[in-house]
Amino acid sequence: MKNKVKILATTLVVLIALFSIHSFSSKEVSFYPEKIKIALRSVGNELLLKNNDATSLVLPVKEISDQTFEVSFQKEIFINPEILAETIDAEFKKTGVPYDYITELINCKTNEVSYSYEVLGPFKDNEISCLGRNLPKSCYTIKVIILNENTSALYSAMGSTNTLYFIIIVLTLITGFTLFKKKSEENISDISSNEIILGKHIFYPDQQKLNIDKNEISLTAKESELLAIFAQHPNKIVKRELLIKQVWEDNGVIVGRSLDMFISKLRKKLVNDSEVKITNVHGVGYKLEINTSN
């Protein structure tokens, strides 16, 4: 009976919190896409100025979906990946746009992704590849995909006069769930994470880490997801489409070259083990090769 009362009370708190959050933020969330559009227009203007172009136009920013936006230019333009990444970061900070996003630079003529990167958290904490390689002058469209849908509501709510009430409700909700979970798990013993042997490495998917010769190597969430898929199919080709679908598309995000970037990061973290390597099968996918000979 007590458990039922707890569940009912928790459900009631959740409903009240959801209603309150909606009331606090619904009036202002509609302005959130406009903030992104303002930021992207400023990005376009800064890139044109870096090209010594003060006359041609930045074309209207398009909202492709709730979380996807595009900006393009009247004329062809040179793009420096480092300047692109730094400019987007600076303009997003000015307008209060969330940190988590993917940027894709699309060639208008071929409709192919010429460059892409992902930012999770503060910009300085992210490793972005190929920043030093200038891209040739061409027709480009900049696409930005905001990864965290709920962040928009949070940012809008933070600007309202009811911010204090919003924070109190969220903190109360988190505390209630934490206490409830703690009590329900008091008599349950800890279960250790699964261990997967990969050559000389021990892979802990749940903890997102690798161990080799008593050295611990941290993995990002997506690196861990990719490696877990490879570990399920050792010495077998895993198609690109499967990797992208399971790691990105199932979460509502479609990427261009982000897969190649994360594969490159994984290779660097496995470089000290001659028994394990990730090979590229051209036009098909990748293979985790494990040499089991002693």
pLDDT at 161: 46
**What's the pLDDT tens digit per position in 43-76?**
999 999 999 999 999 999 999 988 899 999 999 9
| Residue 290 burial by Cβ neighbours in a 10 Å radius (0-12, 13-18, 19+) | middle
d(CA 252, CA 65): 11
Of the two residues 294 and 211, the one the predictor is more confident about is 211
Contact 114, 160 (CB under 8 A): no
Classify 196-290 by CATH class. mainly alpha
Of the two residues 138 and 16, the one the predictor is more confident about is 138
d(CA 125, CA 113): 24
Q: How confident is the model at residue 134 (pLDDT cuts 50, 70, 90)?
A: confident
**What's the pLDDT tens digit per position in 68-86?**
999 999 999 999 998 999 9
Indicate if the pLDDT at residue 28 is higher than 70. Answer: no
Residue with tokens 């109190």: 168
**What's the pLDDT tens digit per position in 146-182?**
886 544 444 444 444 455 556 666 666 666 666 555 5
**What's the pLDDT tens digit per position in 251-293?**
555 555 778 888 999 999 998 888 899 999 988 999 999 886 6
Task: Determine the residue type at 159.
Answer: G
pLDDT at 117: 87
72, β-bridge pairs: 141
Alpha-carbon separation of residue 104 from 54, 140, 255 (angstroms):
24, 10, 8
Per-residue tokens: 258? 């982000």
3 state SS of 254: coil
How much is the mean pLDDT over the chain? 78
d(CA 178, CA 257): 38
pLDDT at 6: 61
- 3-state per-residue secondary structure call for 53-66: CCCCCECCCEECCC
Q: How many CA atoms lie within 13 A of 95 on its CB side?
A: 21
**What's the pLDDT tens digit per position in 226-262?**
999 999 999 999 998 888 888 877 655 555 577 888 8
The pTM assigned to this predicted structure is 0.43
Question: H-helix or E-strand containing 272?
Answer: none
Domain ranges of the chain: 32-147, 196-290
